[in-house]
């Protein structure tokens, strides 16, 4: 279908179907301190990290069985990786082999994987220590990607940050701070519109100025927008991906309710998703759609079941499809 977009579905970090398979097992710093033998405590952290990466591989094998080739990796693979009191801990030595196996698997099966660091990772904070801590966390993600042998380019989604009671100044702070961000981190990042502070236009302003791809979150846009018609800016979104080796990606979720509009529902409303798809169909050759629903892979399976029943959808496999023009 020459004039149609190939849409691929993915989900976030965790399966509700594969049991005992968390890639985000952790140890608190308080618990770490309680262990009298520091060497033994670090050894335990390393075993947790190895288990997390092993579980990631199990999830990718589960995904492959269902034709899912788009997945968000957990940012919590290595507990306490960037904690200030563990500076000098060479955790990469302990997980190098496991990471390489994970990366080899993604390449062999043509899987797109990326990250979305925690909300406390912000690059527009005016406080130097918070900015520095954010960069440290992002460099940790760089190390993980390098360990997997995955090209850094556009592998980590980030929100713009806080408005600090002056949004125009906060946008300029992001631009100012950007020049202090290491080149490897700059290469890795994409920015996403959020549901409260920085809308699509704000992200496009930064994306166009700094050469960062903009990840469009449809649900966030409905919760936070200046112009209701996002489609008027869709060509600008596409253009921010002009120099990317990866297909354009977007996020899809549905509001939990009218009262809790910003919260994610368990599943994706197929009618809401179809409204988006029909607007963008044919605008790019391929689009990767990240499902951010509470029910993770079950939400993806339910959505594909809903789409299969429609006359205007042509399924390619269990997780990708065309919309008939």
Q: How far apart are CA 177 and CA 164, in angstroms?
A: 15
Q: Which pLDDT score, from 0 to 100, does residue 325 have?
A: 81
247-285 residue pLDDT tens: 999 999 999 999 999 999 999 999 999 999 999 999 999
Q: How far apart are CA 200 and CA 100, in angstroms?
A: 36
124-137 residue pLDDT tens: 999 999 999 999 99
Confirm if 288 and 70 have CB atoms less than 8 A apart. yes
Q: Which pLDDT score, from 0 to 100, does residue 3 have?
A: 84
What's the token pair of residue 213? 């791809």
Confirm if 122 and 130 have CB atoms less than 8 A apart. yes
CA dihedral sign, ordered 18, 271, 232, 243: positive
Q: How far apart are CA 55 and CA 47, in angstroms?
A: 12
Q: Which pLDDT score, from 0 to 100, does residue 51 have?
A: 98
- Could you say which DSSP state residue 264 is in? B
CATH fold of 10-217+226-244: TIM Barrel (3.20.20)
Average pLDDT of the chain to the nearest whole number: 97
Q: How far apart are CA 105 and CA 33, in angstroms?
A: 36
**What are the DSSP calls for 167-209, one per residue?**
HHHHHHHHHHHHTTS-HHHHHHEEEE--SSS--HHHHHHHHHH
- pLDDT tens digit at each of 325 positions of the chain: 348 999 999 999 999 999 999 999 999 999 999 998 999 999 999 999 999 999 999 999 999 999 999 999 999 999 999 999 999 999 999 999 999 999 999 999 999 999 999 999 999 999 999 999 999 999 999 999 999 999 999 999 999 999 999 999 999 999 999 999 999 999 999 999 999 999 999 999 999 999 999 999 999 999 999 988 999 999 999 999 999 999 999 999 999 999 999 999 999 999 999 999 999 999 999 999 999 999 999 999 999 999 998 999 999 999 999 999 8
Confirm if 188 and 156 have CB atoms less than 8 A apart. yes
Distances (CA, A) of 93 to 43, 101, 133, 143, 184: 12, 14, 22, 11, 21
């Amino acid at each position: 279908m020459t004039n149609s977009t190939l849409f691929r579905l993915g989900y976030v970090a965790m399966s509700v179907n594969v049991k005992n398979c968390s890639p985000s097992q952790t140890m608190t710093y308080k618990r770490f301190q309680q262990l009298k033998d520091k060497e033994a405590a670090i050894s335990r952290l390393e075993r947790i990290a190895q288990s997390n990466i092993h579980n990631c591989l199990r999830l990718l094998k589960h995904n492959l069985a269902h034709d899912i080739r788009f997945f968000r990796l957990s940012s919590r693979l290595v507990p306490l990786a960037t904690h200030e009191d563990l500076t000098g801990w060479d955790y990469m030595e302990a997980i190098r082999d496991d990471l390489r196996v994970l990366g080899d698997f993604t390449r062999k099966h043509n899987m797109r994987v990326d990250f979305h660091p925690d909300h406390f990772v912000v690059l527009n904070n005016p406080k130097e220590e918070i900015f520095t801590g954010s960069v440290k966390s992002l460099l940790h993600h760089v190390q993980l990607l390098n360990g997997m042998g995955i090209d850094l380019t556009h592998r980590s989604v980030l929100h713009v940050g806080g408005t600090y009671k002056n949004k125009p100044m906060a946008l300029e702070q992001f631009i100012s701070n950007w020049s202090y961000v290491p080149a490897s981190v700059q290469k890795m990042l994409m920015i996403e519109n959020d549901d409260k502070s920085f809308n699509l236009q704000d992200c496009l302003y930064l994306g166009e100025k700094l050469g960062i791809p903009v990840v469009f979150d449809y649900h966030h846009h409905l919760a936070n927008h200046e112009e209701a018609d996002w489609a008027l800016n869709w060509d600008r979104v596409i253009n921010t991906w002009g120099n990317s080796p990866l297909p354009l990606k977007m996020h899809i979720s549905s509001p939990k309710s009218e009262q809790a509009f910003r919260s994610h529902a368990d599943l994706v409303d197929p009618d809401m998703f179809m409204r988006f798809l029909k607007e963008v169909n044919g605008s790019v050759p391929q689009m990767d759609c990240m499902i951010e629903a509470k029910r993770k892979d079950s939400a993806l399976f339910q959505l594909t079941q809903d789409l299969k029943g429609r006359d205007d959808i042509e399924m390619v496999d269990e997780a990708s499809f065309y919309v008939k023009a």
